[in-house]
Chains A and B, each alone.
Chain A
Amino acid sequence: MASHEALGNMQEAITQESAWSGGGSPYAIGSKKLGMWLFILSDAITFGALLIAYSFVRVGSPLWPRPFAMASILNATVMTFVLLSSSVSMVLAVRAAKLGERGQTVKWILATMLGGVAFDVLHIREWLGLIGEGVRLFQNPWGTPLFGATFFGLTGLHMTHVTVGVIYLGVIAFGTSRSKFTSEDVEVSGLYWHFVDLVWMFIFPLVYLMSAKFA
């Protein structure tokens, strides 16, 4: 049984400014950024499922091939380096965007795209090499048939993300040069790019290092 005073307090509480009472952003970020974060969450779970499923069969299969000689490991390490550096250029692009430096923003986004393209080129070269050695989705000359399916599936999905990212960044760079996009748009594209880099941080050790050839 609310007294007159308690009712007054309740009314005051309801009309008081709350982060969750509507009309604003409780996370203090725009809806585009929140949307990208939620997408990244779902994509992270997808890649997590694939990576854990792959790790399961990798560890549990006695006949898993170890096909990656030093040259392949070196190639993959260079790819890791390229992707990490592209993340730094992306971060610098976002910083330039926030400072309102349009030319610098576009320059750094282009550098990031270059990193993505370089990654794709090195990766496709590697794929062609493996295919040339006889690796198919469900057979290879060395061991468990599953090697091809897991390798091409995981790295293929990741490479698709990188390629889509390069296109996405291209659109952002173009739009930024035309003053059509804000720093928030650049930041959101940056989040996607860092996510792509993040996934590779798991793929590189689990796929390549766990199957390195020891001569």
Chain B
Amino acid sequence: MEILVASAIGVITMTGIYLVLRLRAFPMVLGMSLLTYAVNLFIFASGRLSIDMPPILSPDGAAYVDPLPQALVLTSIVISFGMTAVMVMMALGAFLETGHDRIDMTGPQEDEQ
């Protein structure tokens, strides 16, 4: 299972970085979303991988899984969701204002302000 999770995180990160480097608004939004999925899985795995165990201490002292990464993942999902929404809005605004969706800023339009 370790290999499965590790390679999944690796592949998602790789795809995300590739998409971000495309330097167009839409692939970049997708790439950033993939990167945040990868990091969420990574945080989840930081509490050690285990199956069929509750994330709370039980009175009989049975085995449990670390609940903190799950709380951290919740926070990180909420934040990355909000950030993605902001980025989509800004990219849309930039596209509507300038008529193209390139991310890099070379060329004559750099000097206008």
Real binding pair: no
Please report A residues at the B interface, Cβ cutoff 8 Å.
Answer: none
